[in-house]
Each structure stands twice: as structure tokens, then as C-alpha cells.
Structure 1
Amino acid sequence: MKKFAYIGCLGFLAVITTEFGIIGILPQVATHYQISIDKAGYLLSAFALVIALTGPFMTLLASRFDRKKVMLTAIVIFLITGVISSFAPPFWLLMLVRILPAFLQPVYIATALAVAVSTADKKHENELMSIVFSGVAIAMVTTVPFATWLASLYSWEYSFVVQAIVSIIALIGIYLVLPSMPQKENKSYASQLKILTRPTFIISTAMNFFMITAWFSTYSYFAEYLGKAKDMDSAMISYMLFLFGFVGVFANWIAGKMLNKDITKTVAFFLSGTILIPILLYFSGDNLIGNSIVIGIWGFLYAPSFLNASTYMISSVPDSLEFANSLATSFGNLGVTLGTTVGGWIIVTKGVIYNPWIGLVFGILAFLMMGFRATLESRYKHKTVKRSL
């Protein structure tokens, strides 16, 4: 049922607004707390690191509970975070309440995807997953730029008010629309952990990690990059975030259709942006029209990255959707952590103008992982054919 996918998308909107809403206000947060931009970046990287370290275990623990209750619990925690953060608490407390929902973020995503495809035909699964993941792009076109715009008009605390409101709406939607969904069968932890022994899955995980690292080495400092490298003010940056997300909504829809036809080619197509965008940003200089076009292309190629990563990893272990997706979320967020950390270091030591080139390096590594997996699968098919003869 598509309505389950749309409800999953609504919750995803709240999740992403909380995780990435901080991106547009990092310079203001740094100024308020009188800290450097790379230290302010810990608000994003610490969130992502908690997801990376605890995601799979939390998903395994939650796999035996009613899916509706799991999703409601996760969104309640996100709501609490938004409310407390909006009061501009001391930095240590802001960091703490930012970390708390990170424990349940991968649990929510894995559960929402499982709910979305629970009544679907196999051939429509990728399309329904793309609806859930479109919450990422919708957040980028609505709540994230809106929160950044409000912050530019008033104060950065208003960004967290937006996050709290979105969480309330998601909470109501999940409660009213989703039926109770107790687990029909409890898979043993051992049976789910077996996927960690499959070489193609391990390589797919590495591809995910390098791809997300590539994107976030620059995207984590989107506002800082456009402000310093492209000489844009806060209002213009919020418009660029809107453009970035607006294009991304369509990209997610298109990616969902493309993944149904060919997963590998689709992932490679969108991954090419990690190499293309740094080059385009270099040649666009400070030309506003040129930069707007590049940011539009950037948003299109970036938006389906989490969908592509999950689908690519799940395709190597189709019998373990929830746990595989939690690992995709965890390693993707480990990529967010590394990308944000390396990006912050580059800003402090070299300058933000060099950040996109870090993305190019990690993008090449991601392509290499895709090549390794293709080689392994080709050898496996060759051996299978030999045995059958």
C-alpha cells in the first residue's frame, strides 16, 4: 500500500530535518557559542557517528517489536530533541540532545522501509522505497531551507522550532494511519548476522561508505562553502538549499524508476556526480547563474545517494532487508562522520574552496568498490555455469 510508504516518508522528513537542518545554520551556531566551524560541525558528525556505531545493534534489538510502536517511539525522541535545542542550551547539552535521537534513526528508517514494502510485489519494492527516501529530498526543498531562511531573518534557534513542528506532524500521521504491526516471525540474530560473511555485501558496504563520505566532505559545510567560496549571503544560501532540494525531489522519483530497471547502472550514474561536481564548481567561479545551474545538478545527483546505497547493498542480500538497510544507514552515517571531519580539517588547514576535491577522491574509491563487486559476481556466475555443465 502506497499510503504506508508516504507515512514512512513523512517520518523520514522529520528525521532528516533534525539531522541535516543544522547544516544551514552551522556558521551562526559557531558564532553564538564562539567556537570554530569545524567544532560546530561536531553537531553533525557526532550524530552520524552514533548512528554508525549503534545502528545495526539497535535495529536487531527493535526487530521483535511492533513496527508502529517502534516508529512512534523514534519520532517522540526527535520531537524532544527539537524542543530542547530551540532554547539554545549550553553547547554540551545541545550536543547531548542531538545525539539521543541518533540511536533510533536507523531503526526508524529500516522499519519504515519494511512497512512500505510489507504488502508490495517484488517488482514495486524499489519504487516504494524511493517514496520513503524522498523524505530526504523533500526536507532539502522545504524544511531545511525554510529553517535556514528563518534563522537568517531572526535567530538560529528557530531552525529547531521547525524541526519540532515537523516531528509533531509526523507523529500524528503515523499514529492515525498505520495499523498495529506486530512481527509475524522473529528471525534469529545469528541468521541476520550471516550477511556479514558475504564478500559482495562487504564490498557494497565499502562503496556506500566512500560514496557518502565523498558527498558530505562538501555538503556538510554547504553554507560555509557558498558563503566563503562563492560569496553568497545567508538569504541566498537558503535559496540555493531550496533549489538543491527541489531538484532532488524529482531525482529521487527518477532514481526509483531507474533502480527497478538496473541497480548497478543507476548507482554509477548518480555516483558520477562526486567526480563531475568538483570540476563544475571550479569552473563556475563566482558567476551566480553558473553556480545556480551547478547546484541544481549537484542536488539532482546527490539526492538519491541514500536510496542508491541501501538498494545496492540490499541487492546483494535480498533476504535480509531490515538488517541490511540498518547497516547501509550506519555505514552511510560513518561516511557522513568522516566526510564532515575531513571537510572540517580541510577548511581549517587549507580553506573551504578545496573541499569538493576531497569528494572527488572518495568518489573514485567508491567506483573502485563497484568494480570489485562486479568482478566477484562475474567470477561467481562463471563458476556456477561451469558446475552446471
Structure 2
Amino acid sequence: MRFNKTLFILSLGTFGITNTEFSVIGILPDLAKAFNVSISKAGWLLSVFAIIVAVFGPFMMIFLSLINKKKLLVFSLMVFTVSNFLTPLVNQFNYLLFVRMLPAFFHPVYWSIALSIARQNSKKSEVSKNISVIFAGLTIATVMGIPLATLTSSLLNWRFSFIISGLINLISLLGIVVYLPPTNNMGSLKIHYDYQFLKNRILWTNFLLVFLIITAMYTTYGYMADFLKTVSGLSGKQISIMFLIFGITGIFGNKLAGKFMDISPQKTTLYFILALLSTHVLLNYFGIMYIPLVIIILFWGLIHSGGFLISNVVLTSIETENQEMLNTIFTSCGNFAVTAGSIIGGYWIANNGIHNIAWASIIILCLSLIVFRQKLKLTTNL
């Protein structure tokens, strides 16, 4: 019971940092208008954050590995809180990018510690299930954070969206301070420096597969607000409702992904790719029709939400004592993929229009199927 409580506390922190990273997705059109930049340039508010996480993640964990883990969790959330409260004060786009960069350095620190605690204190048969609790924070952030930011920006303005995000991080911080037990009672979280596992060919095949999956996810999803506004013709309030539908179904999708990954990781991964591919095909052809769009959003959220959990299990399934380093590699891989998705999506929009954005994800998902097949060959030959 105590460990379950710890998982939910860590999930609350995950909610806070995820909301900071991804809530801009729902207000990109408003930010582009407020700072007089293109939608593709506004997309850098997501991709710059992700680039920093991807590049500096492993180095931050190595540099800070000797510091008490609970203190690191608290300090990380403090940086996120301060950054969100500073954001409404800026009046130039470059300054906005700079303030967004600050918490990005501590994003991988929080993720790596939280995932390590979940993995190291779980029975082997419950690893995916317990990790899914941590990832539930990410899912709930899409349920509440993104639509809340969209609705707040629509009713008030974009500045209030960041203030609310700052309050969420502050609440998460207080939850960690008050309720999280000392981390030295949860097993060793020391970073190992034996990098021999990096020579594992299956690891790099998994890395490529995860990269393609998450890139495909965010190539379209990163510009979802603009698609719903420009192509589907929805208002700000309607867009926030769509994000809410997306996120609510995502709660169940995240739970299902954890359950099925414990039963059959290979089949679950394959079915996830095929389901996400089908959803994007449907979005491309029926995104302009309101009722079909609602149904597509419902299933899209259900499928999409399991992507990070599935990707984490795929990448960290290698047997090694370097689990913390694997977690930082996953965080870097995921954020490189988010960056790639944002850049590819912005390029695709600039050259082919927002109405064709789903095709970019479709192509990438087809490539992921090819890599998945290669992964099966490698594991079969072991």
C-alpha cells in the first residue's frame, strides 16, 4: 500500500512537468498570433524544450547522481514552477524560448528518478503496470493540462495558461515534499557507468523503433490545435473539448497498454503501431466532418496515450544493471523524437499544408513497421 502511494505521488510530479512541456500544444495558434510568428516557428516552443532534454539528459543525471534523489525531485519541480511564473512577464518570442529552456534541463532528472523508483521496487510481473502509474501523470496532463490551457487562453489569454501551469507544478512540489518517503529507503538508485550494454544490437534496433513511433505521434499531434482550427473549423472552446475527449480516453488507453505489455510486449507493440496508423489515415480523410472527427479523436486518444509507456518498455527491456542510464537514454530518445516530429510537422505544413499533416505520420509509422520486423528477426535468432 505504501509503495502504491509513492507511485501516485510521483505520478503527480510527472503531471506537473508534462503539463509544462506539452500544454503549449493547445495554444500554439494563440502564441503565434501574440508574438507575430508563423505556426511552424511557434512549434519551436515545443521542440527547443525537447532538444535540451534529449541532449543534456544523460549528462544531467551523471552530474547530479550523488545528490539525494528526493531533493533532486523537489528542486526540479521548483525550477518548473518558477519558469512558468516568469513566462507571462516576457514580451518577445526569443525571451519566451529562453524561459522555456530553463526547466528542460531538469525534466530528464525527474523522469529518470521516478521511473527508477517504480522499476526497482516492482515485481517482475508488475513492472509495466507500475510504470503505467507514472505515465498516467503524462496522460492526465493531456486530459486536464492541454485542454485547460486551450480553454484558459480562449477565455482570458495565453499568459494565464502558464500561471495555471505554475500552480500545478507548485502543488506537485508540495506533494513530493510532504508525502514522498526518503529515497534511500527505496533501494539503490546509484548510476552505473558500465557502458558495455550499449554494444547490444537489439538495444539500437529498439532505439530506432521507439524514435520512429514517438516521432510519428508528435508530427501530427504537435499541430493538433492548428489542424482542428484551420481544417476542421473549430472554435477555441470546441478545440479544448476535443483535447479533453482525447485525454479522457487516454487514461484508459494508458492503463490498457500497461496491462497488455505485461502479457505480450511484441503483439501489443505491433497492434499499437497498426492502430495509430489507421487512426491517422481516418483523420486525413474525415477530419473535416464533425461527428466522424469526434469518434476519431476518441480512438486516437485511446491509442496515442500508450505510446510512451510502450516505448519505454521496448527500450528498457534489455537486461542490465544500467537501468537509470537506460531511462535517461529513453528520455533523450523520446525528446529527440518529439523534436523531430515538431520539425517534420512544421516542414510538412510549410510545404504541403496543414490539411495533409497526417500523411507525414503515416509514412513514419510505415517505416516503424519495417524496423519492428527487423527487431523480431533479431530476437528470434537469439
TM-score (norm 1): 0.94
The residue identity in structure 2 corresponding to 1:269 is: Y
Aligned to 2:5: 3
Aligned to 1:350: 352
User: CA–CA distance in 1 between the matches of 2:220 and 2:12?
Assistant: 27
1:1-389 superposed matches below 5 A = 1-182=3-184, 184=188, 186-189=190-193, 191=194, 193-380=195-382
Displacement of 1:95 in angstroms is 0.6
Displacement of 1:90 in angstroms is 2.2
Q: Structure 1 pair 125/285, CA: closer, same or farther in 2 (3 Å)?
A: closer
Give yes or no for contact 1:88–1:157 (8 Å, CA) kept in 2.
no
Give yes or no for contact 2:283–2:293 (8 Å, CA) kept in 1.
yes
Count of equivalent residues: 378
Displacement of 1:46 in angstroms is 0.5
User: CA–CA distance in 2 between the matches of 1:108 and 1:294?
Assistant: 33
User: CA–CA distance in 2 between the matches of 1:185 and 1:38?
Assistant: 40
Moved over 6 A (4+): none
The residue identity in structure 2 corresponding to 1:80 is: V
Offset from partner CA, 1:276-301 (integer Å, 9 cap, x none): 12211133242211100001111111
The residue identity in structure 1 corresponding to 2:133 is: I
SS at match of 2:89: coil
Q: CA RMSD in A?
A: 1.4
Identity %: 31
Offset from partner CA, 1:321-347 (integer Å, 9 cap, x none): 221121111111111111101111111
Displacement of 1:120 in angstroms is 2.4
Give yes or no for contact 1:317–1:324 (8 Å, CA) kept in 2.
no
> Which stretch of structure 1 is more off in the superposition, 48-57 or 168-177?
48-57
Displacement of 1:185 in angstroms is 6.7
User: CA–CA distance in 2 between the matches of 1:227 and 1:86?
Assistant: 24
Give yes or no for contact 1:271–1:301 (8 Å, CA) kept in 2.
no
User: CA–CA distance in 2 between the matches of 1:253 and 1:318?
Assistant: 26
The residue identity in structure 1 corresponding to 2:94 is: W
User: CA–CA distance in 1 between the matches of 2:287 and 2:225?
Assistant: 16
Displacement of 1:65 in angstroms is 2.5
Give yes or no for contact 2:57–2:332 (8 Å, CA) kept in 1.
yes
The residue identity in structure 1 corresponding to 2:19 is: T
The residue identity in structure 2 corresponding to 1:122 is: K
User: CA–CA distance in 2 between the matches of 1:219 and 1:83?
Assistant: 26
Give yes or no for contact 1:314–1:320 (8 Å, CA) kept in 2.
no
Structure 1: where are the runs of 5+ without partners?
381-389
User: CA–CA distance in 1 between the matches of 2:116 and 2:133?
Assistant: 13
User: CA–CA distance in 2 between the matches of 1:157 and 1:185?
Assistant: 38
User: CA–CA distance in 2 between the matches of 1:27 and 1:285?
Assistant: 18
Displacement of 1:184 in angstroms is 3.7
Displacement of 1:55 in angstroms is 1.2
